């Protein structure tokens, strides 16, 4: 089979698996006989989704979480790219900072999230910082790997052409490391959703994390499912946007 045919088939298989999960879910609900506040049916979740959509609460809280995600993703990716480039170009700086960077990953962000909320307040800033911290490390590692993967021969060629430092960065290092950088960005895009929700679950009065807690406290399990599926949709959308950007900027690889 042709690669395009296989790609199209795999895409349809993903959609088919989702469609197959719905009747399987309904069957589990029917056989188990569990009450709605423990395991709602797909119909209950759909009706709750329509209700939250019509009263505007879902759109409002989704918008709040999306802003936190985008700001945290932007801050985390920007800082990680700058620091990663500096580490890639300076082995001595890497030796100094690496122990701290690795040690920072040994501490789960969820453990220090309450401290960040206390220090930065319960507003959007603390959520953005938590989101940026989760995104930072994978993008940093991919930046270092991507920059160091640039062949030495290409550097020699640029130097022979008397290219400036900025020209080497823009014409060589950035294009050559883009495939690896986009790999880190894909990971960061999905992790950014986790970061925003961790911050909201610690302390928030708005956002999808708030809806999750509200649904839990009120035994509104259908609302919990709605919030979870909305988060999944956000993560898939961000991942899809990164994939589209990757295809656009890496056309030269084909």
* Same domain (yes/no): 133, 85: yes
* Same domain (yes/no): 64, 120: yes
* Same domain (yes/no): 1, 104: no
Q: Over range 43-53, report the average pLDDT.
A: 94
* Cα–Cα distance for residue pair 124/121, rounded to 1 Å: 8
* Same domain (yes/no): 152, 46: yes
Q: Grade residue 235 by pLDDT with cuts at 50, 70 and 90.
A: very high
* Same domain (yes/no): 54, 3: no
Q: What is the reported pLDDT for 73? A: 94
Average predicted confidence (pLDDT) for the chain? 87
Q: What is the reported pLDDT for 135? A: 92
Statement: residue 87 has pLDDT above 80: yes
Give the number of C-alpha atoms closer than 13 A to the C-alpha of residue 153, restricted to the C-beta side: 0
* Cα–Cα distance for residue pair 212/69, rounded to 1 Å: 17
Q: Which domain holds residue 13?
A: 1-33
CATH code of residue 176: 1.10.3720.10
* Same domain (yes/no): 109, 211: yes
* Same domain (yes/no): 20, 45: no
Q: Over range 94-108, report the average pLDDT.
A: 84
What is the domain count for the chain? 2
Query: Could you tell me which of 210, 206, 233 has the C-alpha nearest to residue 223?
Result: 210
* Cα–Cα distance for residue pair 237/161, rounded to 1 Å: 42
* Same domain (yes/no): 80, 9: no
Statement: residue 7 has pLDDT above 80: no
* Same domain (yes/no): 140, 18: no
Quote the pTM value.
0.88
* Same domain (yes/no): 72, 27: no
* Same domain (yes/no): 10, 111: no
């Amino acid at each position: 089979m042709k690669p395009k045919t296989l790609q199209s088939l795999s895409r349809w298989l993903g959609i088919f698996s989702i469609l197959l999960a719905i009747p399987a879910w309904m069957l589990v609900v029917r056989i188990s006989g569990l009450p709605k506040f423990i395991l709602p049916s797909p119909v209950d979740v759909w009706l709750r989704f329509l209700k939250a959509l019509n009263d505007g609460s879902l759109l409002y809280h989704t918008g709040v979480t999306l802003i936190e995600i985008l700001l945290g993703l932007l801050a985390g990716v920007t800082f990680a790219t700058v620091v990663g480039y500096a580490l890639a170009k300076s082995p001595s700086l890497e030796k100094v900072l690496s122990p701290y960077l690795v040690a920072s990953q040994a501490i789960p962000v969820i453990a220090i999230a309450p401290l960040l909320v206390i220090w930065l307040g319960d507003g959007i800033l603390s959520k953005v910082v938590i989101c940026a911290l989760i995104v930072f490390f994978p993008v940093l590692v991919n930046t270092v790997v991507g920059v160091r993967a640039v062949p030495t021969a290409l550097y020699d060629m640029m130097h022979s052409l008397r290219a400036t430092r900025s020209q080497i960065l823009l014409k060589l290092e950035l294009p050559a490391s883009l495939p690896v950088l986009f790999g880190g960005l894909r990971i960061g895009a999905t992790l950014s959703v986790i970061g925003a929700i961790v911050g909201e679950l610690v302390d928030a009065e708005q956002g999808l994390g708030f809806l999750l807690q509200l649904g839990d406290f009120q035994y509104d399990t259908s609302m919990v499912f709605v919030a979870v599926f909305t988060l999944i949709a956000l993560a898939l959308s961000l991942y899809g946007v990164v994939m589209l950007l990757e295809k656009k900027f890496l056309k030269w690889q084909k």
